[in-house]
Structure 1
Amino acid sequence: MKRSEIQDAVGDLGWRYVLGTIRATVPVGSIGQAAEVAARCAAAAGDERLQLQLTRDHVLLTLPAEAIEPARRLTAAVREAGLATEPGGTQLVELAIDALDIPAVKPFWRAIFAYEDEQGYPNAVVDPLGVGPAVWFQQMDAPRPQRNRIHFDISVPHDEAPARIEAALAAGGTLVSAAHAPAFWVLADAEGNEACITTWQGRD
């Protein structure tokens, strides 16, 4: 189906086509109600690949782009509970990193985020839990002499930090600074793009 056809099929139900998926939110009044909605939706989805994210304010529903009939079933299940599927909060965030040598920098970012390769997209890595934003790499045709203007902070459990740093270094990264460890370590990929591994330690 074309993207416009998918959106037309689910738009009146409160769903929106976003980056290869269809997504909707269900506003709720408590985490208990969110759990009830999630259970209803899981039952209605059957074997369909439904992703659920719960907060005390809403439940975010994500389905594959062409799962039109499951979206209808989920909306019906939500309406039976006196609630509604709505389009608010259905955005997806991706991070793009410019690179001259993508094969040289991609392993660093896969390691530092603890991500995996995205199926069918050789220049992207994704969160295996489906929570964090995807990271993709854009081919540059000339180096930029200035220092990069953005970096990422990855906050991890304190006892996971050494392994994450070791993996990033093994993947071609460099340790820029450990002056503030264990609060944070500054690392960089093969082209100098920086990221910090941070923990709660050393901040008291």
Structure 2
Amino acid sequence: MVSCQLVVDCAAPERMARFWADALQYTAEPPPGGFDTWRDYWRSLGVPEEELGEGDGSDSIVDPEGHGPRIWFQQVPEDKVVKNRFHLDVTVGGRREDVPLETRRARVDAEVERLVQAGASVVRVLSQPGVDHYAVAMLDPEGNEFDAV
């Protein structure tokens, strides 16, 4: 069986983990058994203190139902400088076959408002008259692109 984790390069891993846990309804991944914090775990492996960053090291999130991938926010020294090569769609509107466009639009707009309060920003609305699609292009707190759909 093959599995995967999504790794996001960022400047502030704990802040990004909190934002995306909220956005995706994930939870902070608990540290391995026998350790009170992730910092304690990384120290036990010999990671130097200067590489541990701030806080308790809570830099990964998991789907509480076990379906989605683990997401790890890896601290890197460089800033984001170009557009992402791929992005996440936060799907909240419902399936086109099951939910009318106006209902999907209302759901997406409500989620966009919630995510803006959590630290995201709106780039543009993705909608055209006569097309049965509605989404909002957004940026997370560090400028990574994603869509609310």
Do they fold alike, i.e. is TM over 0.5? Answer: yes
CA RMSD of superposed structures (Å): 2.2
Question: Residue by residue, what CA displacement relative to the aligned partner does 1:144-178 show, whole Å, maximum 9, x if unpaired?
Answer: 42222221112222364344323321221111112
- Say whether 1:98 aligns with 2:49: no
Of 59, 63, 83, which residue of structure 2 is paired with 1:147?
Answer: 83
Deviation digits for residues 5-32 of structure 1, max 9, x if unmatched? xxxxxxxxxxxxxxxxxxxxxxxxxxxx
The structure with the larger Rg is 1
| Counterpart secondary structure, 1:129 | coil
Code of the aligned partner of 1:151: H
State the 1:179 CA deviation.
Answer: 3.7
**What corresponds to 1:188 in structure 2?**
139
Extract unaligned runs of 5+ from structure 2: 32-37, 39-57, 95-103
- Is residue 61–residue 70 contact of structure 2 (8 Å, CA) maintained in 1? yes
> Separation in 1 of the partners of 2:29 and 2:8?
15
Aligned twin of 1:134: 70
8 Å CA contact 1:187–1:196 kept in 2: the answer is yes
Q: State the 1:137 CA deviation.
A: 0.2
Rounded to whole Å, the distance in 2 between the matches of 1:162 and 1:128 is 25
- Secondary structure class of the residue paired with 1:169: helix
Q: Hey, what's the Cα distance between the residues in 1 that align with 2:62 and 2:107?
A: 19
Contact map agreement 2:17 2:28 (CA 8 A) in 1: no
Render the CA deviation track for 1:48-77: whole Å, top value 9, x for unaligned.
Answer: xxxxxxxxxxxxxxxxxxxxxxxxxxxxxx
TM-score scaled by length of structure 2: 0.63
The structural deviation recorded for 1:180 is: 2.1
Distance 2:29 2:114 in 1: 19
User: Is 2:20 the partner of 1:109?
Assistant: yes
SS at match of 1:149: coil
- 1:42-121 alignment runs, 5 A limit: 90-120=1-31
Higher strand share: 1
Whole-angstrom distance in 2 between the partners of 1:167 and 1:115: 15
What is the percentage of aligned positions where both structures have the same residue? 28
CA distance in 1, matches of 2:6, 2:69: 7
TM-score (norm 1): 0.47
Cα distance in 2 for residues equivalent to 1:140 and 1:168: 24
